[in-house]
Structure 1
Amino acid sequence: MDREDEQLLRRRVYGADHDDPDPGPLPYRTYAELVGGPLDGLLLDITGWRAEEVDDGVALSTELVRWPGGRALYDPRPGEPRSPGPGVSRRFYHSGDTP
């Protein structure tokens, strides 16, 4: 596997610049994996978020929703375990879109 193949296998982080030569996760940060919807497969940096903030879910800006300039809603599933520390600590699931 060459360097280009390795880059394709690395996940992108939501909000990373499209021109960023290394838009993947950093080893000392904590992420939520976005599952389903328009941002499926991206990682959201949740480093430093309080437990209440993580449990509330997010509304993320994207042009890929039903309404241009709207937001995609992602929420954790109640009771789904989360891993402590850096890396992917939990999943957020697409629950809808909003203008």
Structure 2
Amino acid sequence: MALTKAHIVNNIQNRLCFSRKKSIELVETLLEIMKKSLENGENVLITGFGKFCVNEKRERRGRNPATGEPMTLAPRRVVTFKCSGKLRDKIDKKEQRKQTR
């Protein structure tokens, strides 16, 4: 199951005893700050979690998957995520525990 914005709001509401309205406002504000930074080409680093990076993709040759015809793909910007070492270690430990059961 995926973690949704609604799950995050519920967790903030329950853990911090904020009202639902305040929790929604907090999550929306955080996401807006992140979106604006990425939109401006800035990376977003969250220590202990990971880094969202904006990368430039050059114009390149591709293929139309429906017809197989060659085509040129326009240059664009993409967002990538690289998790922190701490998060990677936690994920690996959880996977190792699953495998030993």
TM over 0.5: no
Q: Which structure features the higher share of helix residues? A: 2
Per the normalisation by structure 2, the TM-score is 0.30
Find the structure with the greater CA-based Rg: 2
Per the normalisation by structure 1, the TM-score is 0.31
